[in-house]
Amino acid sequence: MRFGNSVVMAMLVALLCSTITLAATPVEITIGYYESTAGLGQYSITMEQLIQEFMEVNPHITVKSTFTGYRAFFDRLPVELAAGTGPDVWLCDGVLVDQYAAQGFALDLSDYVAALPNPENYFGIENNRSPDGRLWAFPQGIQSSALFYNKEQFDKAGVAYPTDKWTLDDLRANAKKLTVDANNDGVPEVYGYRSFNHITEGWSSIIRSFGGGMLDAQRRNSKFNDPNTVAALQYMVDMILVDRVSPPATTSGPFNWFPNQLVSMQTGLYVRTDGANKAGFEYDVTAVPSGPAGRFNPVIINSWVINSRSSKAKQDAAWAWIEFFSSERAQQVWAELGEAVPVNRRVALSVFMQLRVPPANRMAFVTGMDHAMTLDPNPVWSDWQAAATSALTPAFRGQQSVAEAALKAHEAVQVILDEFYKR
């Protein structure tokens, strides 16, 4: 059957109009997020401003937002998701993404990401990939790490500032030079380094740098009994108990040691710049030191997760929000907060570099992504890392040998992993 040109044209117009209508079909989504503990008073305000701008650009999408403090947000989120009242897309702590994926609430974003014209323009996408190749989330903000150092204390001690050439041997040797016990009472007024029992800013990087590990590649088996892991832990404990260049494990408030100028150096996430800036002394950052097995930079990639149980229309709208938030325009606005390293590479290398607050060498947080390591997230991350920390505590306090504590950590972690994966 043949159609005249006018009929064909009418059919094409009708089809085009139909497509436009479908694309612009009104849809409402809920965006959930938690208020940053280092939001500088502008976190939620800026987020709401961006949401309003997103709706202006996408008039067919209506957004409802829900947010609260970190702990309250993640206390109520599992309940809401199970009841079917959870948000269509939410901001998730990077180490918790796998938990929601295992529960069936996270949508695999692989197809969406594959359709991006230039996925290499964003930090953290591949770091978010699970061992089985899934992408359960898309980066929202990068918490990269660096070695913080107090320039005033370095100058006073006559010690050259650390560089990206430093090794863990350099760190230990210079920590001794920076430790100050002016009255020789055995309790230093200033310690050289913050060595403490903590996964993100404590042992994860050093364990990897020694060639050890926390979990295996599939994140189903413990490696806390690996000889290299034990050697790394011994290095950290010796800095406290033998060298006495780090505060004892019983000292409270380890995240305040550097801002309070109790320690001259610390390994810290970008978020720690907030406390240091408020303290008002001269400091800077450089790359985390390398070890016998290389340099490993602990990174937390806070990410957007799309609800797998939302309708396809809501999921597409949620992805539109993620693309908007990751765009240069939105990332420039977000970068001004100084809350995290931007996921958009261009913005990270422009606006982020031009922030008028310390540290001067903020590039270290960006180049640190070249050595990024995750914290071995899996569905029971919160449980196994807490068990490991608890088991290692006696060693950091000098109440048990490192080998014994590491073995107990290995056994405790393996029980948790087996209970989850073998049920």
Alpha-carbon gap, residue 240 to 423, rounded angstroms: 40
Peptide bond into 59 cis (omega under 30): no
**pLDDT of 40:** 46
Q: 382, 423 in Cβ contact below 8 A?
A: no
Output the CA–CA distances (angstroms, integers) from residue 229 to 165, 196, 199, 255, 374, in the order listed.
23, 15, 13, 24, 16
Q: Would you call 86 helix, strand, or coil by DSSP?
A: coil
Across 151-177, b (16+ Cβ under 10 Å) vs e yields: bebbeebebeebebebebeebbebbee
Question: Which residue, chain included where needed, has tokens 């990269």?
Answer: 144
Each domain of the chain, given as residue ranges in start order, spans 26-142+300-369, 145-298+380-421
* Residue from 76, 106, 132, 126 nearest 421 by CA: 132
Output the CA–CA distances (angstroms, integers) from residue 198 to 8, 389, 393, 405, in the order listed.
69, 7, 10, 14
Residues 194, 167, 407, 197: what is their CA dihedral angle, to the nearest 10 degrees? Answer: 10
* Tally of residues, the chain: 423
CATH numeric code, 26-142+300-369:
3.40.190.10
CATH numeric code, 145-298+380-421:
3.40.190.10
**pLDDT of 36:** 67
* pLDDT-derived band at 42, boundaries 50, 70, 90: confident
Question: Which residue, chain included where needed, has tokens 């009841």?
Answer: 83
**pLDDT of 8:** 36
Q: Could you read off the pLDDT of 131-159 as tens digits, one per residue? A: 999 999 999 999 999 999 999 999 999 99
* Residue from 293, 264, 295 nearest 174 by CA: 264
Q: Could you read off the pLDDT of 12-38 as tens digits, one per residue? A: 334 334 334 345 799 999 999 998 654
Question: Which residue, chain included where needed, has tokens 């982020």?
Answer: 352
The pair of three-digit structure tokens given for residue 137, joined into one six-digit string: 């989330």
In sequence order, what DSSP letters do the residues of 352-402 get, joined into one string? GGG-SSS-TTTHHHHHGGGGEE-----TTHHHHHHHHHHHHHHHHTTSS-H
Q: Could you read off the pLDDT of 192-245 as tens digits, one per residue? A: 999 999 999 999 999 999 999 999 999 999 999 999 999 999 999 999 999 999
* pLDDT-derived band at 371, boundaries 50, 70, 90: very high
Q: Which of 51-60, 206-215, 307-316, 331-340 has the lowest mean pLDDT?
A: 331-340
Alpha-carbon gap, residue 108 to 17, rounded angstroms: 31
**How confident is the prediction for the chain on average, in pLDDT?**
93
* DSSP H stretches of helix in 144-217: 151-157, 168-178, 204-209
Q: Would you call 192 helix, strand, or coil by DSSP?
A: coil
* pLDDT-derived band at 41, boundaries 50, 70, 90: low
Residue 50 predicted with pLDDT over 50: yes
Percent of the chain surpassing pLDDT 90: 90
Alpha-carbon gap, residue 332 to 349, rounded angstroms: 11
**pLDDT of 37:** 55
Tell me the backbone φ, ψ of residue 286, rounded to 5 degrees.
-150, 180
Helical (H) or strand (E) element with 149: strand 145-150
Fold match between domain 26-142+300-369 and domain 145-298+380-421: yes
